[in-house]
Structure 1
Amino acid sequence: MSLMISVSGIRGVVGKSLTPENLTAFTMAFATWIRRRKQALNPGSLAKPIIVIGRDSRPTGAVITGLVSNALSLCGCDVIDVGMTTTPTVEIATAGEGADGGLIVTASHNPVEWNALKMLDEKGEFLTASDVGELLEIAEKKAFDFARWDGIGTVTANGSWDAAHIDKILKLSCLDLDLVKSMNFRVLIDAVEGAGSYIVPELCRKLGITEIKTLACEGTGIFPRNPEPIEQNLRQTMAILASESCEFGIIVDPDVDRLALVCEDGTLFGEEYTLIACADFYLKHHKGPVVNNLSSSHALFDIARKHEVECFSAKVGEANVIEVMKEKEAVIGGEGNGGIILPELHYGRDALAGIALFIQAFAGWKSATGGTLSEFRKTFPDYFMSKKKVELTTLSKESLDRIFDTVAANHPDAECNRLDGLKLDFENGWVHLRPSNTEPIVRIYTEASTQAEADALAARFIEEIETAASANPAKN
């Protein structure tokens, strides 16, 4: 299992691809990059760089945080440890502390044996591809900047940022907390024993949720199921919600940058439709462009058209979506995996912000109609997606471009986009093929007007990839 390096961070399996050696090396490279960036932004400054660090609940998180914090200190950085918290909370804390950068020890939706370093700049935003390239060059050359004995940094703790994050959300101008409270919602929360175990129920209480039932919210870090919040991993939670007579369920991944919702009848609202519902609500209060990624549902384009605003698609990856959002001055954006980015709050995927917008949107609709969440879901454009993957053990990354060229050539009738892997738009659907940023796989996303058509499209292109791979073997 190789180390995965991208704008989404440095991640791998602890003790295999993610070792003390490479954790230390990448941390020292990050500290060096931060020190040089600080000097470039503030010439002549003698102040030590400040780095905010936080982690999710994984059993390896505390040990890795200690290792990383000490490495940062030895490179002359002062460290503010915000403890076990969410990825968006660390992003907000980095900017709020006036820090020079941030590190999050989390492998997000990956299984428990994985961990990672997600790296932030002084704005609390993920590094760009160019930034990551500079950092990797420092690591490869081992061109680290170390502190003298009298220049070593300090490590201090600050556990106040969960409350500060909630307070920022509660101040969003589009929220009507009295309306939410009047609905007397009964809600199930599943935090998969991750960093959302405490902050998600607390946010819901502050938003005005009357009755909260929790599932896997002890913060143990021992995930009771595969933590990726997709349907095949959520069937037990969906069944429990239906038996508990809840109006809806809230499910987050271990670092709380992804949000899934379950309807009162135990069906999924749809991870793609988290952004759809939030954008439809938010655009009623703040007009402006919206952004998703190339693997996200076309439904967002329909919502944008409804509100007479533009919709743009970026390469997959939070940093890529944010780059386009800034360029287009978008008011809301995100990815089809349930990630919501709200610039009014900060530039980062934030399930907590998504929870607030969604609850407010549903409360407003329910107060006017008396309907259920499954009925609310039917008010949005109806598309069906299939999300599959092919293991890279049978494919070489070096041969993927040739494979994608072959597949594209088979479909001259489709609109071809090579911005991020290969996307083919047909008259009645689309397919997107791309290597994952976080796992050694090729992801296959399709969308069509029925589930059967989407599944058939996915199966067809898996076969085409495998056929093209056989015809284009990797070069040694």
Structure 2
Amino acid sequence: MFGTSGIRGPVGRVVTTDLALDVGRALASQNAHTIVVGRDARKSGAVLADGVSAGARECGADVVRLGVTSTPTIARSVGWLNADAGVAVTASHNPPTDNGFKLWTPSGQAFDRPKRREVTRRINGEAFDFAAWDEHGSERTWDRAVETHADRIDAALDFIGELTIVVDIGNGTGGVTAEALERLGCSVETLNGQPDGRFPGRPSEPTAENCRSLCEFVAATDADLGIAHDGDADRTMAVTEAGEFVSGDVLLALFAREAIRPGKQVAVPVDTSLLVDDAVVEAGGSVVRTKVGDVYVAAEASKPDVVFGGEPSGAWIWPEETLCPDGPFAACQLARLVREHGSLSSLVSSIDRYPIRRKSIHVADELSTIETVQERLTAQYAAVDTTDGVRVERNDGWFLVRASGTEPIIRLTAEARTDRQADAILAEVSDIVSSVTEPAPSVDAAD
């Protein structure tokens, strides 16, 4: 039921009001006495949020409704309101036809595996503790969530000022970013600022391709940088003053280098570039790797020695502030970096970048293939990490073999310090995977 970031799928097929009711019932039946419920701008979110609230109240929980707002605002509101759980009705960067549910704890951390498993068990078994007819929970609204979020960002960061920033909200719920930046003294201009769950301005995911208009706009003006969010504003990507889209690995390295302290750690997923390792190690810290998915990064970031966690997809976590990926907070952190250390272009140029090669191989059974590949690679190499798939460290680079999880595909990633080494590593691992399966024609993508 749960993927790497909550429950998500097509509305009316996977995600229904029946499911929304059951999510609310399951949370209330797990002793969540007060539940925060908010949603992104998708039209389907209105009835789904109603369903979550109705199910929770039916099992005796009180509900606080936030309306349309960003996922990090919802996640952080759980703690601010002394609630027991939170539900963001959102499909994040998925297309408008989808919706879903992200579940949050008072610390701002997403539900971990045991909590997700318990929700799934209750829904599948209809194991709900319905309240007596006269003991249903109450519902109220809280209209200060966005203001409180901006207040917290303002309080956490020093005054910035003297920067002009373009924020591409992507017709999502990231308007709090503009408000927070303005409070910090920046001049802000927004693109696609009207919340609209059809995402008419651009596709919701803030990729280089989808952010071309932002790149062109920033390059044509005197803006100091551009910021782009996805539909629920838990992801943040950036554009330099010259209009260059900053890759997620480079942005992760910049944030990690700033946050790290000697002897401390940064949490990143297994598919993260070694340029992050270089930046962190040079600053006296170390990198700890997790499964792919911000829920796993957050779990590692909750440990005492981890001072920052991030995913190249745009999820950034400062555990001293919150354990949820907070896109607006990340945007303001980046603005602070530019203000203190120079242009974003100069910051980007200070990070070494290495060639990455990627390849997808279609197989009959991805899980059995991964098991066989793991046995082969473990016997062949000394430095093998099986946290998520199989990652192998070599003197000249690294490679990762990982099952898709949603389709019968094995994904290969190889990185080295030269193009020739990267090509050679990918060819070697591709031959290994091909030798243990009968693949269909593959699709290559170089980055």
Partner SS, residue 73 of structure 1: helix
Superposition RMSD in Å: 2.9
Does 2:251 match 1:274? yes
Deviations 1:396-454 (A, max 9, x none): 45434335437737x92473221112212232222223345788865544433356865
Look up the equivalent residue of 2:346 and give its one-letter code. E
1:306-325 mapped onto 2 (5 Å cutoff): 306-325=282-301
Deviations 1:72-110 (A, max 9, x none): 111211110111111111111001111111111111121
Aligned to 2:83: 99
> Tell me, which stretches of 5 or more residues in structure 1 are unaligned?
39-48, 367-371
1:167-316 mapped onto 2 (5 Å cutoff): 167-172=151-156, 175-177=157-159, 180-181=160-161, 184-196=162-174, 198-210=175-187, 212-223=188-199, 224-283=201-260, 288-316=264-292
Greater helix share, structure number: 1
Q: Distance in 2 between the 1:431 and 1:146 partners?
A: 50
In the alignment, is the contact (CA less than 8 A) between 1:7 and 1:132 conserved in 2? Answer: no
Bigger CA drift: 73-82 or 298-307? 298-307
In the alignment, is the contact (CA less than 8 A) between 2:149 and 2:176 conserved in 1? Answer: no
In structure 1, which of residues 373, 380, 390 is the aligned counterpart of residue 351 of structure 2?
380
1:366-377 mapped onto 2 (5 Å cutoff): 366=342, 372-377=343-348
The percent of aligned pairs where both chains have the same amino acid is 28
Look up the equivalent residue of 1:418 and give its one-letter code. T
Aligned to 1:419: 387
1:439–1:364 CA distance, 2 compared to 1 (3 A):
farther
Q: Distance in 2 between the 1:467 and 1:22 partners?
A: 43
Instruction: Return the offset for 1:116.
Output: 0.9
Bigger CA drift: 109-118 or 92-101? 109-118
Aligned to 1:141: 125
Look up the equivalent residue of 2:320 and give its one-letter code. E
In the alignment, is the contact (CA less than 8 A) between 1:6 and 1:129 conserved in 2? Answer: no
Bigger CA drift: 447-456 or 274-283? 447-456
TM-score for both structures, normalised by structure 1? 0.83
Deviations 1:26-52 (A, max 9, x none): 33223222x2xx5xxxxxxxxxx0000
In the alignment, is the contact (CA less than 8 A) between 2:357 and 2:422 conserved in 1? Answer: yes
1:471–1:243 CA distance, 2 compared to 1 (3 A):
closer
Instruction: Return the offset for 1:221.
Output: 1.7
Does 2:36 match 1:52? yes
Partner SS, residue 36 of structure 2: strand
1:214–1:441 CA distance, 2 compared to 1 (3 A):
farther
Aligned to 1:337: 313
Aligned to 1:15: 12
Aligned to 2:443: none
Aligned to 1:352: 328
1:62–1:126 CA distance, 2 compared to 1 (3 A):
same
Look up the equivalent residue of 2:96 and give its one-letter code. V
Look up the equivalent residue of 1:401 and give its one-letter code. I
Deviations 1:286-344 (A, max 9, x none): 98322212122223322322222232112222232222223343122222222211122
Instruction: Return the offset for 1:468.
Output: 4.5
Partner SS, residue 93 of structure 1: helix
Partner SS, residue 42 of structure 2: coil
Q: Distance in 1 between the 2:178 and 2:206 partners?
A: 18
1:170–1:20 CA distance, 2 compared to 1 (3 A):
same
Partner SS, residue 121 of structure 2: helix
Aligned to 1:70: 54
Deviations 1:202-256 (A, max 9, x none): 122112212x222111111222333222223322332232223422110111111
Q: Distance in 2 between the 1:76 and 1:279 partners?
A: 43
> How many pairs does the alignment contain?
439
Q: Distance in 2 between the 1:452 and 1:72 partners?
A: 57
Look up the equivalent residue of 1:373 and give its one-letter code. L
Deviations 1:139-166 (A, max 9, x none): 2221111111111112211121111112
1:470–1:27 CA distance, 2 compared to 1 (3 A):
farther
Bigger CA drift: 147-156 or 118-127? 118-127
Q: Distance in 1 between the 2:306 and 2:327 partners?
A: 18
